[in-house]
Structure formats: C-alpha cells, structure tokens
Copies of this chain bind each other. A is one copy, B any other.
Amino acid sequence: MSQFTAQDHHYMTLAINLAANGMYTTTPNPNVGCVLVNNGEIVGQGYHKKAGEGHAEVNALAEAQDKAQGAVAYVTLEPCSHTGRTGPCAVALVEAGVSKVIAAMVDPNPAVSGKGLAILNQAGIETAFGLMQTQAEALNRGFLKRMRTGMPFIQCKLAASLDGKTALKNGDSKWITGPQARAQVQDYRSKSCAILTGADTILVDNAKMNVRYAELLEPPFPAEQLRQPIRVVVDSKHRLKPDLAFFQINSPIIILTTDLENNHHWPHYVQHLVVKELNGFVDLTDACQQLGKLGVNQLWLEAGHTLAGKFAELALVDEFIFYLAPKLIGASGQSLLQLPVLESMDQVYDLAIDEVSLIDSDLKIVASPKRV
C-alpha cells in the first residue's frame, strides 16, 4: 500500500523476525514482535516469548524507556485492549507517549478486533494497519484460525515411499525417510501446540510422540527450555493402558474418548477429554473444537492411515506435509490414507501444491485442500 514507506517495511520486517523468536513457546498466545523507532533510531525491540510473560509492546517499551516518547511503534498484530495476565498494550503505548502505531494486521478475534487501535486513536495517536499483513499472518496461522473459527490449524504429516507406501506389508517402517526429514518432523512437533495421534500408533509402535531435543536440527534454545507440546491420543475403545511408553514421559497428555469408563490409574499429567461420539468412535470435529477451546492453535497430526484418512475425509486438515523417500515398496505395502471408496474421478479429494523441496534425499511436498 502506498501509505507505507520503504523504511516502514524495513522496521516491520524486523518486528516480524522478532516475533518469530516466540514460535516454539508462545502457545496459546500468538507470536508478536514490536520495534520502536524514534527519529530514525531503533530505541526498543521486543517480542512475546511465553504466555504469562511480557507482551511484545511491553518488552519493547521497557527497552526504550524515555525514548518511547514520540516514537513510532511497529507491531505485527494490533495491540491488545484487554487486561489479561498483563495490562492492555494499547494503554501502555498511550502512556509511553508514542506518536504513531503501525500494525501489520488487526486482531483476528472478531470480538476485540479494532479495539486496541480505537484506544490509541482516542488518545490522539495516529494508527495504520495492513503493512506486510501476509507475512504477519504467516506467523500465526494457528492462532488466527482458532480466533476466527474456534478450530486449530491442523497439519497432517505423511511419510511414504515414492509409490505411496508408509510401511512394508509386515508393518516395518523404520526408517522410510532419512534423518534430516525426521529432524524436520521433530521441529514441526516442537512448534505445535499439540500433537495428535491414534491409539494404534501408540499400541503398535509403542510411540512416545514427544519432541526429542537431540534430534532437532540447530534448535534455537537450550534443552532445558524445550516445551513439550500437549500429546493428544484418540482412544475410542479404551485400549490404552498407563504402562505404555507414551505415558512414561511427564508432560501433558489428553486422551480423547467418548466416555470416562475406565479403571486404570493414570499419571497426573494425563487428562481424559470426553467428546461426542460418531458411529461408535470419537467425533473428530468435536474433538478439534474442544482442543481449540483449550487453546490449541496449531495441531500436528501424525497418525496411521485410518485416523489420518478420517481427518482428511472430514475436511479437518489445513495442510498436508508429505515426505516421500526415494524408494519403492510395491503394492503389498501399507497405503497412506484410508478414504471412502470413490465411484468417479470427479469425487477425488483435490489438493493444491504449495511447496516442493528436497530434504537431503527425500522429497517434501506441502499441499493444502483446494478451495473451490
């Protein structure tokens, strides 16, 4: 937009880069960055790191101190208007005496959208928004979707051979993809609010589904700062027991079930979440809505062909991430997704390819459901 200068773009780029520092930790809050510029000098920079800690604006104002007076504030998201664990950022900006606030985007929550900017305007501070909105939205796909729809942004990871097989006939799948692709999966897990899988994966593979720090490629934080995402498992038939490896790791777990009938003694970090039933199984749409209510912005789905297929069939997946290894397994191998049998080609589930890259010798394909 012509209302913004090259300098504005420069500072907003800085703010977006700052915001990205929070991507492993801010859940359930959004990633936000703020840069304060006074007479061409950067006087304060801040980003939101963790729920319960300072917001980006507050952190930047703390750095700027007196120099915030008269400064232009570049923020990647509209300053908040509510008093949560911290006071409203819009008020803090007013009190600090900034002259202008440029926000990349307004708040995605329809209930509060525009209120922060209104507080600023009422205090006589000039405001503008929409600068680099696309890039700012990319910081918070999960948060934005949850604010707009109540549902998490759901990424479905699928790993297979080039001929679309996830495992041999006998179930052996270690390893289809190479170490770099697997490290990238660890990184995706660590950026997610929650990782969702099915009871089969836990039972058959004895999978833990946690983030393994040692496998991350260049983690931008020390091991002790690793946040384990909530691990969520669908267990419609009460097949899980506390002695499985999955339950030995002390970090939040949610078991999705249709009723609470079960006699096991579960660790304190295991929560049962009762969701609606659909055809004798957990209603996945209701499950996702409930996870949204619990603050899950970004949900990483890593499941077998039945559960992954069900998510696809219900149009719950926002993004498919395929890792295709340069191998051939043949028709006897296990298929990627269980989907309803189709009668004609015009019924197929259409995707659009968003990104293709080589991860070492594996092919990565990011695709999203085609909007019609």
A310 CB to nearest B CB, Å: 11
Q: Can you tell how many copies of this chain the complex includes?
A: 2
Q: In residues 198-216 of chain A, which contact B (Cβ within 8 Å)?
A: none
Interface size on A, residues (CB 8 A): 53
Asked whether, in the complex, the Cβ of B170 is within 8 Å of the Cβ of A343, the reply is: yes
Q: Does A9 interact with chain B (Cβ within 8 Å)?
A: no
The 8 A CB mask of A177-203 against B (1 = contact, 0 = none) is: 000000000000000000000000000
Say whether A337 faces chain B, with CB atoms less than 8 Å apart: yes
Kindly report which residue of chain B lies nearest to residue A354, judged by CB atoms.
Answer: B326
Q: Is A176 an interface residue (CB 8 A)?
A: yes
Q: Which residues of B contact A158 (CB under 8 A)?
A: 163
Nearest B-chain residue to A334, judged by Cβ: B331
Using an 8 Å CB-CB cutoff, how does the interface string of A304-342 with B read, 1 for contact, 0 for none?
010001001000000010101011111111011111111
Of the listed stretches A28-36, A100-108, A280-288, A345-353, chain B binds A345-353
User: A363 contacts which chain B residues (CB < 8 A)?
Assistant: 353, 356, 365
Residue of B nearest to A350 (CB): B327
Say yes or no: A338 contacts B348, CB within 8 Å.
no
- Write out the residue numbers on chain B whose beta carbons fall within 8 Å of the beta carbon of A160: 163-164
Let me know if A254 is at the binding interface, CB within 8 A.
Answer: no
* Choice from B164, B340, B353 contacting A163 with Cβ under 8 Å: B164
Residues of B within 8 A of A327 (CB): 348-351
* Cβ of A162 under 8 Å from chain B: yes
State in angstroms the CA–CA spacing of A175 and B338 once bound together: 21
Given A336-B331, A345-B175; A162-B309 close (CB under 8 Å): no
A339 touches B348 (CB 8 A): no
- Nearest B residue to A370 by beta-carbon distance? B326
A169 within 8 A of B: yes
Chain A interface mostly: loop
Residue contact A337 to B348, C-beta cutoff 8 Å: no
**A342-B164 in contact given A326-B352, A356-B358, A361-B352 (Cβ < 8 Å):** no
Are A365's CB and B168's CB within 8 A? no
By a CB distance below 8 angstroms, the chain B residues around A305 are: 331
Residues of B within 8 A of A168 (CB): 341-345, 348
Other A-B contacts than A328-B351, A356-B356, 11 sampled, CB-CB below 8 A, are A162-B320, A162-B322, A164-B165, A164-B335, A170-B343, A330-B337, A331-B335, A331-B336, A331-B339, A332-B342, A335-B335
A interface vs B, CB < 8 Å? 158, 160-165, 168-170, 172-176, 305, 309, 312, 320, 322, 324, 326-333, 335-345, 348-353, 356, 358, 361, 363, 365, 367, 370
Q: Write 23 A-B pairs (CB below 8 A) sorted by A numbering.
A: A162-B351, A168-B344, A169-B341, A172-B345, A312-B328, A324-B365, A326-B353, A326-B370, A327-B348, A327-B349, A327-B350, A327-B351, A328-B349, A329-B349, A330-B335, A330-B337, A330-B342, A331-B337, A332-B339, A332-B342, A353-B363, A356-B363, A363-B365
- Sort A-B residue pairs by CB-CB distance and give the 5 closest, nearest first: A164-B164, A330-B339, A331-B335, A328-B349, A326-B351
